[in-house]
């Protein structure tokens, strides 16, 4: 397990996640969904990648979900406009309340040292209020990761999953707290993805609304040991030659499986009641039911979404 401050998460190579979520801060909407996919077709962070307005480095291009950043989205070497014969890949993502899906895979054949990686991400923010206790408490949050990381011929995959909570609807604001978990096919995060639920505790106040954000990101292709650890928050990409492949398939999901509130003494409050800004139904078992969408309810992410996801020029 890796615990990080939100300021570091903000600067990760998929920083467009943070850009998108920050756009909701100006809105009154108490919930948001977001997805995105893309690929790195040769740029190396802090070397040849174009800089964005935040000062960090982007991948070659990225695509947002169809509904102002939410909804199922996919991309492949057959649907992008680059015609790169050195990399065949596929990436997809989807998001719903309490359930995130992201998968990426790629096969490369490089005659000179370069990078090729596909990525996907999904996130959800919801405003929760818990009643049934008084004062402050803690919330045992658990989620299941159902996915696989594989690599062959030197290639590999990496993923991170995390949760933030606090009073700011921007899930990556420094005032919120966070827990981040990383796994990869090689490097410092190598190891099996846990089959048991991942569990940690979050502080909250009874009867006081707070924002809970879940996010999931994956990348796969040429050697990739982390999506967070290099160049002040970028992905750790290693140029390579030859043939290989990588897979980071977590489309089977990151599923919210438990929300057990405890009182100030640490005792479970099993009769607690949950309410949510989205209308989704939560319980001590996690997510119970999705909200019934209303017309226009997916217009949550602000008019800056298209700009945040504009197609990048290939380097």
pLDDT tens across 66-120, in order?
988 899 999 999 999 888 999 999 999 999 999 999 999 999 999 999 999 999 9
Both ends of the chain: CA-CA distance in Å?
35
Which pLDDT band holds residue 46 (cuts at 50, 70, 90)?
low
SS3 19: helix
Q: Mean pLDDT over all residues of the chain?
A: 82
pLDDT tens across 124-142, in order?
999 999 999 999 999 999 9
* Residue corresponding to tokens 């039911």: 289
Which pLDDT band holds residue 256 (cuts at 50, 70, 90)?
very high
| Average pLDDT score over residue span 271-298 | 85
Asked whether the predicted pLDDT for residue 65 surpasses 80, the reply is yes
Are the C-beta atoms of residues 61 and 49 closer than 8 Å to each other? no
Asked whether the predicted pLDDT for residue 5 surpasses 70, the reply is no
The residue extents of the domains of the chain are 6-308
Are the C-beta atoms of residues 105 and 245 closer than 8 Å to each other? yes
Q: DSSP label at 133?
A: S
Instruction: Output the CA angle 148-195-238, nearest 5 degrees.
Output: 35
Which pLDDT band holds residue 49 (cuts at 50, 70, 90)?
low
Asked whether the predicted pLDDT for residue 310 surpasses 70, the reply is no
| d(C-alpha 256, C-alpha 145), whole Å | 9
- Express as a percent the part of the chain with pLDDT over 70: 78
């Amino acid at each position: 397990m890796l615990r990080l401050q939100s300021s570091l998460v903000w600067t990760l190579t998929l920083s467009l996640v943070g850009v998108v979520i920050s756009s909701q801060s100006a809105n009154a909407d108490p919930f948001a969904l977001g997805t995105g996919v893309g690929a790195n077709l040769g740029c190396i962070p802090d070397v040849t990648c174009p800089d964005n307005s935040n000062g960090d480095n982007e991948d070659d291009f990225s695509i947002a979900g169809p509904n102002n950043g939410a909804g199922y989205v996919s991309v492949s070497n057959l649907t992008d406009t680059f015609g790169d014969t050195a990399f065949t890949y596929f990436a997809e993502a989807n998001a719903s309340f309490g359930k995130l899906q992201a998968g990426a895979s790629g096969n490369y054949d490089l005659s000179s040292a370069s990078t090729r990686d596909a990525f996907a991400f999904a996130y959800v923010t919801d405003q929760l209020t818990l009643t049934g206790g008084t004062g402050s408490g803690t919330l045992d949050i658990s989620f299941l990761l159902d996915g696989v990381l594989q690599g062959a011929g030197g290639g590999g995959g990496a993923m991170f999953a995390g949760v933030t909570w606090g009073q700011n609807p921007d899930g990556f604001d420094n005032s919120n707290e966070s827990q981040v978990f990383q796994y990869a096919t090689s490097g410092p995060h190598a190891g099996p993805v846990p089959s048991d639920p991942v569990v940690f505790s979050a502080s909250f106040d009874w009867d006081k609304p707070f924002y809970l954000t879940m996010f999931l990101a994956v990348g796969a292709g040429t050697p990739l040991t982390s999506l967070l650890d290099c160049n002040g928050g970028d992905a750790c990409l290693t140029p390579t030659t030859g043939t290989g492949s990588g897979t980071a398939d977590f489309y089977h999901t990151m599923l919210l499986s438990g929300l057990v509130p405890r009182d100030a003494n640490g005792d479970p409050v099993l009769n607690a009641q949950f309410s949510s800004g989205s209308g989704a139904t939560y319980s001590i078992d996690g997510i119970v039911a999705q909200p019934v969408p209303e017309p226009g309810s997916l217009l949550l992410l602000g008019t800056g979404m298209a700009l945040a996801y504009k197609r990048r020029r290939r380097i």
